[in-house]
Homo-oligomer: A and B are copies of this chain.
């Protein structure tokens, strides 16, 4: 049989709890669809710092490289926040993206009708919002040279933002390709009126655009995008942008849906390999209490099934199960209006499995 290898890096905080439920869901699909998975756990993030002295141990990287897909929980927490750079969980996150060549981060931000009230936006503005942010993930100011030097006015810090044509082209093409499978609208976000990297970005977008005549293209300045997301979120289909802007814009988009506990993400490279994780963080404040929401991680599995394995039917089955459990009124604390009726992490996972 075709055994798929899954690297599981649960990470910190609520990471292990939510990943646990996602694995239960994957096992359920083994039963229902005859899939076969082999799970291998790796230490990553804060826990890896504590146990191995580095956020991304070589062993974990090897497990990932040897796998067909990676399921990631979440990393980080106050315990490691004041560590020097090489001993910080985020450094592991940047390292794994680079080491695995995951240049493309796909973050759907869509509204769950039954959770519309959870958003701080007016329902009539939010209605129909269903967008995807395609974020460049291994270039730009995150990975450019950084250093300190002594200057005339005290210490001076420098970050360098670099993009080459090939890097821009591959992520922009991905934006166009994804738009093609959807409502055929692409918003390319840059700051071309100020930045040289953005001017290169825009040139590449304009050069490639004629190959996608079926996709309607708009250029949006990043500051304007931050505004338009608030004003007309439903009008966006696919947004493609560079690393730093994507970080900010995708978080804004996620929050405005009101469904941050529900949003999944994929980080992809060349080929079908991918790393899948919830958009939310490690939530150290509620870790270990069994009250976290596993849905974003469970939906990350659905994304993995679609994008890495082509298991469309099983993906749909998971998504439908989530929807039916929500429609039946079940809520974890983060999305419950009446907190006293909130259910726990395991209960939510079990209900979804039962609905599959």
- Chain A positions near chain B (C-beta within 8 angstroms): 88, 90, 94, 120-122, 125, 141-142, 144, 146-148, 151-167, 191, 193-197, 199-201, 222-224, 226-227, 230-231, 244-245, 247-252, 254-256, 260
A94 to B161, CA, bound (A): 19
Whether A251 contacts B231 in the complex (CB less than 8 A), given A195-B146, A200-B157, comes out as no
Q: Chain B's nearest CB lies how many Å from the CB of A295?
A: 18
Residues of chain B lying within 8 A (CB to CB) of residue A260: 227
- Chain B hits for A167, CB < 8 A: 153
Select one of B159, B163, B193, B255 contacting A161, CB under 8 A. Answer: B159
Inter-subunit contact B197/A158 (CB<8 Å): yes
Nearest chain B CB to A73 CB, angstrom units: 18
B200 lies within 8 A of A155 (CB): yes
Integer count of this chain's copies in the complex: 2
- Consensus secondary structure, chain A interface: helix
Closest residue to A243 on the B side, CB-wise?
B194
Q: Are B164 and A161 closer than 8 Å at their CB atoms?
A: no
B148 touches A193 (CB 8 A): no
Known: A158-B162, A226-B251. 5 other contacts (CB 8 A): A141-B161, A156-B162, A159-B195, A222-B247, A245-B248
Tell me which residues across on chain B come within 8 A of A194, comparing CB atoms. Answer: 90, 94, 141-142
Q: A120-B122, A158-B162, A200-B155 are in contact. Are A223 and B195 (CB under 8 A)?
A: no
Q: Specify which of A90, A157, A231 lies most central, judged by the most chain B CB atoms within 10 Å of its CB.
A: A157
- Top-4 shortest CB links A-B: A154-B165, A153-B166, A157-B200, A146-B196
Please give, as numbers and ranges, the residues of chain B lying within 8 Å of A230 by CB-CB distance.
120-121, 230, 252, 255-256
Please give, as numbers and ranges, the residues of chain B lying within 8 Å of A231 by CB-CB distance: 120, 255
Set of chain B residues within 8 Å of A224, measured between Cβ atoms: 251
A199 contact set on B, CB distance < 8 A: 157
- Residues in B whose Cβ lies below 8 Å from that of A151: 164
Bound together, the chains give a CA A334 to CA B140 distance in angstroms of 37
Interface centre among A146, A152, A161, A163, by most chain B C-beta atoms within 10 angstroms, is A161
How distant is the Cα of A154 from the Cα of B153 in the complex, in angstroms? 37
Contact residues in B for A122 (Cβ distance below 8 Å): 120-122
Q: A141-B195, A142-B194, A255-B230 are in contact. Are A154 and B164 (CB under 8 A)?
A: yes
Complex CA gap A160/B210 in Å reads 31
Among A142, A201, A227, chain B packs the most CB atoms within 10 A around the CB of A227
